[in-house]
Structure 1
Amino acid sequence: MELKDLKSLIKLVTDTDITEFNMESAVGKIHIKRGPDKEIVYASAPVAAAPAAAPPAPAQTVVAQPPSAAAAEVNSKYEAIPSPIVGTFYRKPSPEADVFCKIGDVVEAGQVLCLVEAMKMFNEIEVEFKCKIVEIVKDDAAPVEYGETLFLVERL
């Protein structure tokens, strides 16, 4: 399996609610396991018959790095608004429209802050309380994980 195929498979698994995936074929074995702490991907290919003088090829292992801990280090003065789902973060309802909110905006409870697209479904992320937007952590069209901080806000 080529690296681009492996990356496509990892993206497919992370874009869904699947927590564990196994695949075995003549080409090799793949085991992907996800959890709230980190994602680990193991891939191995069969070892081809090598000349007697050459050592056998080691199994290939790909380990995905866990999400950055920088987003978790939030100033206690501000509250984090996390992503409720895995998907793609959008600040605007369409490419030509204005953003839902900017840094410094005061937003009311129930107001839409952004969209998170998952499997071609656009989910509106609403704020649950009146607050002021202090920081927008994610860039437009960036991938987000479940629980990853999208906004830092100051409750009003």
Structure 2
Amino acid sequence: MKAKEIKELINFIANSGLDEVNIETDEIKLHVKKQSEAVAKLVEQTHQPQVIQQPVSIPQQITTSPSTESAAPVKEDNTSTETNYITIKSPMIGTFYRSSSPESDAFVNVGDNVSNGSVVCIIEAMKLFNEIESEVSGKIVKVLVENASPVEYDQPLFLVDPS
């Protein structure tokens, strides 16, 4: 990514209301986290600038490093103590779509059976449409996100009953 693209992405994240974002590609690993106001004030109070006369606060923390791994297509949550359902989570930030076009049927609906590798949704990120595949076989119990709504990294999308 170029510096301008990173800056635009940070501005988008700052305006989106997200508190933390992780992005991993073949070329870059990007972690953006907003500091709370209390932490920012603490930084201002404890920071003793030597050259600058006014206190400086850093509203966002950014770390980048080359990544040798590709982003995982879908993360699974271990079974919870209350249910035997497995959560399919978003591997990226973007816009969640249940179908490939507004006229098309949804990839999956509640009650549908999915198998390992079947497409369950699309997430649009930076004008790229990424098919999200299931890494578990089972029955869709619940769709946790509304169509065409923004999603965060690691946000639960579907509940799957593996039995």
Q: Which residue of 2 aligns with 1:122?
A: 129
Which residues in structure 2 correspond to 1:60-139 (within 5 Å)? 75-139=82-146
Q: TM-score, normalised by structure 2?
A: 0.55
The question of 1:32 aligning with 2:42 is answered no
Q: Which residue of 1 aligns with 2:14?
A: 10
**Partner SS for 1:81:** strand
How many matched pairs? Answer: 108
Runs of 4+ in 1 over 3 A off after TM superposition: 11-18
Q: Which residue of 1 aligns with 2:158?
A: 151
* Distance verdict in 2 for CA 1:11–1:129, change over 3 Å: same
- Which structure is higher in helix share? 2
- Alpha-carbon distance, 1:13 to partner: 9.6
- Alpha-carbon distance, 1:33 to partner: 3.7
* Distance verdict in 2 for CA 1:29–1:12, change over 3 Å: farther
Who wins on radius of gyration, i.e. which is larger? Answer: 1
Question: Which of residues 138, 145, 148 is equivalent to 1:141?
Answer: 148
Q: Which residue of 2 aligns with 1:54?
A: none
What is the one-letter code of the residue matched to 2:135? E
Distance in structure 2 (CA, Å) of the matches to 1:102 and 1:74: 25
Distance in structure 1 (CA, Å) of the matches to 2:113 and 2:153: 25
Give structure 1 stretches of 5+ with no counterpart.
Answer: 1-6, 22-27, 36-72
**Partner SS for 2:121:** strand
Give structure 2 stretches of 5+ with no counterpart.
Answer: 1-10, 24-29, 35-55, 64-79
Aligned-pair identity (%): 40
Distance in structure 2 (CA, Å) of the matches to 1:74 and 1:148: 19
